[in-house]
Structure 1
C-alpha cells in the first residue's frame, strides 16, 4: 500500500480549510484516511502561526516509513524545516508564448525601420553641412 501525505478539503464554499492527512494514495481526496497530522488555513495571513499547524513527530514517523508528500505539502514541510524539498527548475516557464514572440519581433522590426528613417535625414544633412561650410569659408576669404 502506497501512503501519501496530502490535503483534505473542508470548510464552506469560498472558505476553504484543509486537514493535512496521511492516506492510501488510492483513497478519495476527502475520503477515509489513516491519520490527521496537521491543518492548513489559507484564509489566515501568511505570517500567522496558525496558518499551518503540524504534529512534527507524527509527520517524521510517516516520512520515515515511506509516505510521500504531495508538492503542496512538501512546500509546507520545507518551510517548517521537517523535510528539505529540491527546487524545481522550469526554464521555459517564464518564456513568452509563440504569438508574443512574433509580436515582439514585429515591434522590433518597426523600431529598426523608424530608426533608419530618422538616421537618413540626419546623415543627408551631415553630408550637406561640410559643403555649405566650405562655401562659407570661400566667401569670407574673398
Structure 2
C-alpha cells in the first residue's frame, strides 16, 4: 500500500484550514486518514503550523511520501532536514500570546476611571491658562502706559494712634521678662 503524507482541507470558503494526515494514496483528498499528524492554518498571521515530529519521522522512515505542500511545511518546521540529516532551519515565527480577558478589562476600567477624573481637571487647567493670558495682557498694557508715581494708601485701620501718656507696651513687656535690665546691656 502506498502511503502519503498530505493535506486534508477543513474550514470555510475563503478561510482554508488544513490537517496534515497520513493516508492511503488511493483515498479521496478529504477521505479517511490513517493518522492525523499536524495542522496548518495559512490565513493566520503568522501562519499556524503544528506538527507531531515523532510521528512524522516514523512515517517518513517507513516510506511514506510527503506531497509537495507538506514537504515545504516540513522544511519550515525542520522535520524534513532532520529526516535527511541536513542542518536545521531558522525557528518559525510565533504569534504573541493572547492577553487575559479579565486583566485587559481591569486595565481598561482603571484607565476609564483615570479618564473620568481628567475631564474635571481639564476645565481647571483651561481656567488657569485663561487667567495667565489675562495677566499677560495686563502686564503688556501696563508697559505701554507711563508709570504714575506711586502713592502709599493709608487706611485708618493700618495706622496706630500712639498716646504719649501711655507707657510703651513693648518696653513694659521686656521689663517684665528681665527686671534687672541686664539682658539689654549685655549685648
Bin of the TM-score, shorter chain as denominator length: 0.5 to 0.7
Taking structure 1 as the reference length, the TM-score comes to: 0.55
Mapping of residues 1-142 of structure 1, within 5 Å: 1-46=1-46, 51-84=48-81
For residues 75-130 of structure 1, give each alpha carbon's deviation from its aligned partner in whole angstroms, at most 9, with x where no partner exists: 11111111138xxxxxxxxxxxxxxxxxxxxxxxxxxxxxxxxxxxxxxxxxxxxx
2:79 is paired with a residue whose SS is: coil
Q: Considering fraction of residues, name the structure with more strand.
A: 1
Residue ranges of structure 2 left out of the alignment (5+ in a row): 85-187
Q: CA deviation at 1:56?
A: 0.4
2:55 is paired with a residue whose SS is: helix
Backbone CA RMSD of aligned residues: 1.3
Q: Kindly tell me the number of residue pairs found equivalent between the two proteins.
A: 82
Greater relative contact order, per chain length (Cα 8 Å cut-off, separation 6+) = 1
Q: CA deviation at 1:60?
A: 0.4
Q: CA deviation at 1:23?
A: 0.2
Whole-angstrom CA distance in 2 between matches of 1:40 and 1:79: 12
Whole-angstrom CA distance in 2 between matches of 1:78 and 1:42: 15
Please identify runs of 4+ aligned residues in structure 1 that moved more than 2 A.
Answer: none
1:27 is paired with a residue whose SS is: coil
Match in the other structure for 1:106: none
Q: CA deviation at 1:12?
A: 1.0
Higher radius of gyration, 1 or 2: 2
1:37 is paired with a residue whose SS is: strand
